[in-house]
Amino acid sequence: MLLVLLAEHEVLTTTQLVRLLALPERTVQHRLGCLWRRGLVNRLRPPAELGTSPYHCWLTGFGAAAVGAQHQVAWSDDPAGVRAKALLSELWLLVRDWGEAGGLRLGGWRRLPTGLEYRDPRSGDVRSLPVEAEVTFAPARSDETLRALVVAPAERLLPARLVALVGRFAACLASRGPDPHQPSLLVVCRTPRSAATVLEAARELTDAPVVRHLAPRTIETALVRVAVGIAEPRPSLLATERVWSTPADRRPRRLADVLSPNVEHR
């Protein structure tokens, strides 16, 4: 079961595995140690500003083969990347366990190992939007289904890459034509500083070459549908509290409110 969970989510911390398996921490640590010694699991502790971080675990090539999964990325030399992947898993787990307290029920979640393909509205070429997961929600007091694409960028991602990400998201929306159920783009950041970098990059979108062929209204729609969340100091707030904002409106709001501003929530 532990190997299957790692295959599904790519990176999980020991704390997350304890919650998922509903087992004592010592039992989970023991099993991870056995798998690590057999070469099925790898792990590291990314640097923490205070105290020590939990082990962040992922499958080795042998571990992936043992459960018939695709070969996993080797994260040993990328502590920022492994921490971002674990943050993505944390969002899924938080919405699953606490989303209803924040006005959302988790409908479905799937990883997107190669991003999301769309057809460029100008050239017709097939392109990839580099998002990492797709999630659906069912808001409280509403029958609609909300869809979001999720990415947790590494903290040192260059602003130009962030502009390109949001630009491709705008192009992806344009490729779908007029659709009242367009997805949102959720960007999960660890710190307020990282979130500010994403928001500033998104605000530069209107002058970026990547969107020159798009209508201004399409760009405006994309900026409204981008939501940036801050995980620290308490990641649990991502599911229930006002730690999300958009480039179009910096006002902190709950996840339910940035996903569906016109729906009444509890």
- Spell out the per-residue pLDDT of the chain, length 266, in tens: 899 999 989 999 999 999 999 999 999 999 999 999 999 999 999 877 666 889 999 999 999 999 988 777 777 778 888 888 899 999 999 999 998 888 888 899 999 988 999 988 878 889 999 999 999 998 766 677 889 999 998 766 677 888 888 889 998 998 887 776 789 999 999 889 889 988 888 878 777 777 778 888 888 888 889 999 998 878 788 998 999 999 888 899 999 998 875 443 33
* Residue 151, strand partner residues: 187
Q: Which DSSP string corresponds to 63-86?
A: HHHHTTPPPPP--TT-HHHHHHHH
**Left if phi > 0, otherwise alpha if psi is -120 to 50, otherwise beta: which for 177?**
left
Instruction: Give the Cα separation of 222 and 227 in Å (integer).
Output: 10
d(CA 46, CA 29): 17
DSSP state of 260: -
Coil, strand, or helix at residue 229? strand
Q: Which two tokens stand for residue 152?
A: 């947790």
